[in-house]
Structure 1
Amino acid sequence: MEVDNVTAADGTRIGGVVRGFMLGEGSDAVVDALDAIFPSASPRVAGGQPSTGAVTIETTQCGPLGSDRWHIGLGFAVDTEPYKEPLVVWFSRPAVATVPSGELRVPAGGSLMRAPDDPMTLDFPPFDSIGTRVSYGDLEEAAESAHGVPPSDFWLGTGLPLNARLSGYWQSVSHYVHRVLTDAPSSADSPLVAQQLHTHVIASMLAVFPNATLRVAYAPSPGWVTPASVQRAVDYIDAHAAEPIGVNDIAAAVGTSARALQYAFRRHLECTPFEYLRQIRLEHAHHDLQTTDPASGVTVGTIAFRWGFSVPRFTASYHAAYGRSPGRTLQEGC
């Protein structure tokens, strides 16, 4: 198995994308690649008829978020031991996963959540797949901040998406994430974009696959946040909009929980803290467009990237807010 790593930025921090490429032949190449990406899973050939076939894996890592595209030109079965972090795999063709609770049949175009602590036997034909990797701790944190589920009560189940609609949604998410991370240069080289991408993946996993947040009728009240605390949160956002802050950072700055802050923002400002943060960043981008000399070489994409937007989303959001294109504002300066 040949490995070629290309570092676009500092891969030890959010906002830096580390890319790798693996190329091999046959079942041993699949096992070698699994062992390289999931070292504690102890993969091994389990059965089937291992045959020759090209194996190509394109890996990416952006802080705690990873996305890998696999092209496997042979079919066989592989055993893996429990692995410490969650993994969701989208399959282009049907696959069968055997776990302690039974057999899971993944349809073509379907996905499978492999939870930590579950050994698995995966039997598959030649296929393409996209694996999305996150930190279990990040799922726990999101479950607590957004749904009120404490880490001691959180669980994540190995299984398929809850329904066909969500299965299609996850397919779109996984492909989009991999496309963003494999672009060179990538918009995820921006800490703001990388943070939002990571947050989107975590929220999507909690919405699509079996986990404790689906049973939150017992969740406690979010608590009371005073108008003065909401104003302090607004002031914090205004002062730190250029930094990769999230709801937890804002809540910590004013001494409350993320869930209580979400509730208070909706009550007092009719938006979430994240929506307010995006609006402030859009206003800063608007100011930059008005004050930048178009002859300087600075583009709409440069300004969008600076404030954590991808160009298509920035263009749509800007037009909705200001009734004109960002390019026109840059050229006319008003």
Structure 2
Amino acid sequence: MTAGTVYSGSHWQRYATGDTDEAHAYIRRAFFDVKVRFSGEGRDGAGLRTITTGLADVGVTRLHYSARTQLQTAPDGDLNITHMMTGRFTIARDKDEYRLRPGDVALMLPDQPEDADFDDIDSFTTRLPRALLEEVAHAQTGISGADLRFDSSRPISVALGRHWTRTVSHLTRSVLSDPALMANPLIAGNARHLLAATALAVFPNTAHDRALRAAGEVTPRALRRAVAYIDDHADQPITVEQVAAAAGVRPRALQLAFRRHHDTTPMRYARQVRLERAHRDLQAADPTTGITITMIAMRWGFTHLGRFSTDYRAAYGSSPSHTLRT
């Protein structure tokens, strides 16, 4: 990814400084408080250059920092996940040391201090608010926010680490490149929840080991309430937890009920509803008025047009363009 092609537009804010104290102040504002133990400037001083934007309460930052720096973090509960592209970066806690190589990803523990040592790095950091993670973890597993803890800076596996970088890269190119998409509450909500769910899957945390609570019984009436809620709110960003609350059942129980009675999940059902709404809009649209497939797909939260076309063809036996023309 190059700053000139991906990070363009007024919604990306740039910052640069050669002053070490100002660089440290930026790190404290953007990520977490730190106690600096050593900072060795290069020929251009601290050499800090950043470009950043936000998706509601989620922050993303491309950062170049040339100064050799050693510090200890003072985390505030939010997650900062870094994909290191070049440079040297080591994270240590007690006797556990994680030396990142280019392409690796790391989580700065949100509840425990760590030592960091980095030099001439080019990285991409995603900051996720604690409240969002607790919401998604509770919807997936029933775990309470107070019990959600992350145990390691390393991803569970190399493959999952790559999954994180692919997810962030896709969202950067398909959503963060367009302010109109970022302002769409359905698209922004889906993107935020995707990042949180991916973080929970990639890094070790107590939600992985938490025994699921007894699912409980979901009555046919409760299931109908859930379906009605999804149907009525398909144009809005909704979560499993919100649907379960509307139905008066637990999120895990709702997921099991959807699998048992509809052979799908609540969120996949919501996607099917949105695909059907897009189909109706394509049937009703007049292409001579300037209505496009992209406009209709984006309205219903489909940011990946290739995937939208594939799913549409599988569901309706023809392409979106054919439906729009006929």
Q: Which residue, out of 74, 79, 102, partners 1:81? A: 74
Unaligned runs of 5+ in 2: 1-7
2:167 to 146, 166, 173: 173
Change beyond 3 A, Cα 1:153–1:32: closer
Q: Runs in 1 of length 4+ with deviation above 4 angstroms?
A: none
Q: Distance in 1 between matches of 2:20 and 2:175?
A: 27
The root-mean-square deviation of aligned C-alpha atoms, in Å, is: 2.2
69-78 or 242-251, which moves further after superposition? 69-78
Q: What does the per-residue CA deviation read over 1:126-172, in whole Å, with 9 as the maximum and x for residues that have no partner?
A: 12111111122222222222113233432122411011111111121
Q: CA separation of 1:28/1:323 partners in 2, compared to 1, >3 Å: closer, same or farther?
A: farther
Deviations 1:64-118 (A, max 9, x none): 2221111223433333322331111111134111334643222221111112232
How far the C-alpha of 1:245 sits from its partner, in A, is 1.9
Q: Secondary structure at the match of 2:75?
A: coil
Q: Is the 8 A contact 1:90 1:174 kept in 2?
A: no
1:239 aligned to 222, 232, 235, which one? 232
Structure 2 CA distance for partners of 1:181 and 1:301, relative to 1, 3 Å: closer
Structure 1 residues 32-181: aligned runs within 5 Å: 32-38=25-31, 41-43=32-34, 45-47=36-38, 49-53=40-44, 54-93=47-86, 94-100=88-94, 102-181=96-175
Alignment of 1:6-21 (within 5 A): 19-21=12-14
Query: Per the alignment, do residues 185 and 70 of structure 1 end up closer, same or farther by CA in structure 2, a change over 3 Å counting?
Result: same
Q: Distance in 2 between matches of 1:257 and 1:7?
A: 42
Provide the aligned length of Structure 1 versus Structure 2: 315
Conserved 8 A contact 1:68-1:130: yes
- Identical pairs, percent: 33
1:327: Cα distance to partner?
1.7
Distance in 2 (alpha carbons) for counterparts of 1:100 and 1:136: 24
Which residue is 2:261 aligned to? 268
**Can you give the 5+ residue segments of structure 1 that lack an aligned partner in the other structure?**
1-5, 9-17
Q: Which amino acid aligns with 2:195?
A: V
> Which residue does the alignment assign to 1:316?
310
Cα drift, residue 185 of structure 1: 3.4
Higher mean alpha-carbon deviation, 225-234 vs 46-55, is at 46-55
For the structure 1 residues 312 and 24, does the alpha-carbon distance in structure 2 shift closer, same or farther, using more than 3 Å as the test? farther
CA pair 90-268 structure 1, distance change in 2 beyond 3 A: same
Aligned to 1:210: 204
Question: Which residue of structure 2 aligns with residue 12 of structure 1?
Answer: none
Give how far 1:296 is off: 0.7
Distance 1:157 1:165, change over 3 A: same
Q: Using the TM superposition, give the Cα deviation of residue 226 of structure 1 relative to its aligned residue in structure 2, in angstroms.
A: 1.1
Contact 2:41–2:66 (Cα < 8 Å) also in 1? no
Q: TM-score, normalised by structure 2?
A: 0.89
**TM-score, length of structure 1 as denominator length:** 0.87
Deviation at 1:261, TM superposition (A): 0.7
